């Protein structure tokens, strides 16, 4: 038998980002190669994103670029509370000031405004909903491929009960990254809202 051990390390910090080992038969190298490639594709994107979020959380916001601010905002948005959404929006508006063409920041900001409506965190829900839709449209123009941006826009459309648009976006997100847990979760909620409980589960 043979064992391959793979490690991904951030050379600037020496932080271990991701690693795994793969055992196989040296007489069937192509089979082992396929398993290694599948394992890397399944786990690498999540590992890198997690390392980026961790780095952003340990760095002062004033020292972060637009992408770093978006990564710092993402866990706040995952918290799903009005207070966290407002803090995330402060970071994301700063991100779009630094980089007006950042589609990821625009998509996450759209979701933040939608959260304020969904969780009764605003005295002006119509205005927050308008901003969410506007930022989602801007994100559509600026960023078409990032699965997190696509899923954020999906969440905005779900909150507006625009289920066809939400479904198209979440399908695109999962096509780009079949390991995106947030996209799978949004897909489950979408099926639930449409009364398809078995598919949702």
Instruction: Check: pTM over 0.85? Answer yes or no.
Output: no
64: left (phi over 0), alpha (psi -120 to 50) or beta: beta
**Distance in angstroms (rounded) separating the CA atoms of residues 80 and 15:** 29
**Distance in angstroms (rounded) separating the CA atoms of residues 86 and 104:** 17
201 residues of the chain, pLDDT tens digit each = 888 887 777 777 777 667 788 888 888 878 878 877 777 666 666 666 666 667 667 777 777 889 999 999 999 999 989 999 999 999 999 999 999 999 999 999 999 999 999 999 999 999 999 999 999 999 999 977 899 999 999 999 999 999 999 999 999 999 998 888 999 999 999 999 999 999 999
Distances (CA, A) of 106 to 113, 127, 136, 143, 187: 11, 16, 7, 9, 21
Distances (CA, A) of 63 to 55, 78, 94: 11, 23, 12
- CA quadruple 70, 187, 144, 59: dihedral, nearest 10: 10
Residue showing tokens 């063409």: 101
Burial class of residue 157, CB neighbours in 10 A (0-12, 13-18, 19+): buried
SS3 21: strand
pLDDT at position 139 is 96
**Distance in angstroms (rounded) separating the CA atoms of residues 35 and 41:** 10
Distances (CA, A) of 60 to 56, 104, 112, 121, 137: 8, 20, 21, 26, 30
């Amino acid at each position: 038998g043979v064992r391959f051990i793979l490690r991904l390390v951030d050379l600037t910090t020496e932080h271990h980002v991701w690693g795994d080992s793969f055992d196989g038969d040296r007489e069937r190298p192509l089979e082992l190669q396929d398993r290694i490639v599948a394992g890397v594709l399944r786990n690498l994107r999540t590992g890198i994103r997690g390392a980026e979020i961790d780095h952003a959380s340990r760095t002062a916001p004033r020292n972060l670029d637009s992408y770093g601010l978006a990564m710092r905002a993402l866990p706040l948005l995952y918290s799903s509370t009005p207070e966290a959404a407002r803090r995330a929006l402060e970071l994301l508006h700063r991100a779009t000031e630094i980089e007006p063409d950042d589609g990821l920041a625009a998509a996450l900001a759209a979701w933040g405004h939608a959260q304020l409506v969904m969780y009764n965190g605003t005295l002006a829900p119509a205005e927050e909903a308008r901003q969410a839709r506007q930022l989602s449209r801007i994100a559509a123009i600026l960023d078409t491929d990032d699965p997190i941006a696509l899923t954020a826009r999906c969440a905005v459309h779900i909150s507006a009960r625009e289920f066809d648009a939400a479904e198209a976006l979440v399908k695109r997100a999962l096509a780009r990254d079949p390991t995106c847990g947030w996209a799978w979760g949004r897909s489950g909620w979408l099926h639930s809202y449409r009364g398809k409980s078995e598919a949702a589960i």
